[in-house]
Amino acid sequence: MLKAGLSGVIIAAASETARRAPTLGALILSLPLVSVLSFIWLWRDTGDTARIAATTQSTFWYVLPTLPMFLVIPALLRAGVGFWPALLAGCALTVLLYLVTIWALAKFGVTL
């Protein structure tokens, strides 16, 4: 209950800040708050440093394919594409890049 409540408050505060001050909201949203909270909850629940290390390393590799989405969505919106199609295209690109990342890393012996 505490996990969900704290996480919800952070998301609500970030979106409210973004509504009033887009640049400050973007800064807050760019912080890896979800990741850090997840690492804290995982530590609290398991105390397993090996699991936290593996999760942290995998998170790094999964963040990289999400970055183009943050360029595609605004480009599509500025080109006159509606919000939902732009969001869908950004998410679809991210899924495709996740698959490419997993495939490419496997070629180098990295498993996620």
Rounded Cα distance between 67 and 60, Å, is 12
Tally Cβ neighbours within 10 Å of residue 90: 20
Distance CA 103, CA 84 (A): 29
pLDDT in tens, the chain (112 residues): 777 887 788 888 888 998 999 888 888 878 788 888 889 999 999 999 999 999 999 999 999 999 999 999 999 999 999 999 999 999 999 999 999 999 999 999 998 8
Contact 3, 34 (CB under 8 A): no
Q: Which amino acid, 99?
A: L
Q: Which of 37, 98, 41, 42 is nearest to 65 (CA)?
A: 98
Residue 31 sits at φ, ψ, to 5 deg, of -70, 140
